Amino acid sequence: MNKLLPIAAISASVLLTACGGNTKDNAEVQLINQEKAVALITSFETKDKAALAYIDSDKYVQHNLMAADGIEGFKHFLSILPKTDVKADVIRAYSDGDYVFTHTDYNLFEPEVGFDIFRFEDGKMVEHWDNLQPTATSPNPSGRTQLDGATKAVDLDKTEANKALVADFVETILMKGEFDKVGNFFEGDYYLQHNTQVADGLSGLSKALAYMASQGIEMVYNKNHLVLGQGNFVLSVSEGTFAGKDTSFYDLFRVENGKIVEHWDVIETILPEAKRQNANGKF
């Protein structure tokens, strides 16, 4: 499995990316924020409470519906983690302006794969979103796992174009269902797939969708809430339903030469209001 590159190793690429004006100062802020996000997640495993200093205790807004709001909710979450066998291995981490998004191999209360998003203000975390899904016990039909594959962000000058491509794909194909336009987003059948049930290629996706339809299972994207990106990696956060249940879809795409070439996702059923530990909403 690919590990996240050490912070020193990723700094060179991250320093080339900037928020808005592509300045060195902005890029350095992004790198520092990215380091903080990785450190906070890693602290689940290391028990290093020093990472709590990266959270703004007066502003922190929590969107994980199973955790109470604010810094006290986060501390309570840490206090109930198992004493042993906790894992929080960040495989991918990227920055987009005031946001950092990560892709992590977790074993907190059970093995899970998760995406986390942190929003920063003045160097402090002020808001957090995530999506979690149980780790599959075996590779998908093409032998891929939920976490393997490419990790390094490249084509940093193409971030905005790649984000626009993914936003268009989500709206045109996933939301509107205009499948006659799918060729605009892919190079033939070349599409590496990390969804646990789907094989590579558009052919694999078509086969999976046809099977779901035969079983009366619908996957519906109703709204796209957020698109974040760094270079060739773009994360889309959407809301919809899966098998009739309110669902949060986090889709990570890798783009190459203006086409989508690789995909990872985490699909989570949205907790009913009566069971939520905060009132901030999933999105």
Same domain, 126 and 12: yes
DSSP structural state of residue 131: E
Domain boundary among 134, 166, 186: 134
Residue 183 lies in a domain: yes
Indicate the DSSP class of residue 57: T
Q: What is the mean pLDDT of residues 227-252?
A: 98
| Judgement on whether residues 160 and 266 belong to the same structural domain of the protein | yes
The number of distinct structural domains making up the chain is 2
In a domain, 151, yes or no: no
Is pLDDT above 50 for 110?
Answer: yes
pLDDT at 25: 80
pLDDT score at 23 = 57
State the CATH number of the domain containing residue 243.
3.10.450.50
Among 11-20, 90-99, 163-172, whose mean pLDDT is lowest?
Answer: 11-20
Range of the domain at 230: 156-275
Claim to verify: residue 46 and residue 127 sit in the same structural domain: yes
Q: How far apart are CA 283 and CA 280, in angstroms?
A: 8
Over residues 251-268, the pLDDT tens digits come to 999 999 999 999 999 999
The answer to whether 193 and 251 are in contact (CB under 8 A) is no
For residue 146, tell me if it sits in a domain.
Answer: no
Answer yes or no: do 219 and 107 share one domain. Answer: no
The answer to whether residue 235 scores a pLDDT higher than 50 is: yes
Task: Provide the edge-to-edge strand list for the sheet that holds 111-121.
Answer: 61-62, 124-134, 111-121, 99-107, 87-96
119 lies in the same domain as 173: no
Q: Supply the pTM of this predicted model.
A: 0.91
**Residue 100 in contact with residue 123, Cβ under 8 Å?**
no
In this predicted model, which residue has the larger pLDDT, 101 or 22? 101
Whether 141 shows a pLDDT value over 50: the answer reads: yes
Which residue has 């336009």 as its token pair? 181
Same domain for 124 and 223 = no
Query: Cα(134)–Cα(52) distance, rounded to whole angstroms?
Result: 26
Q: At 183, which amino acid appears?
A: G
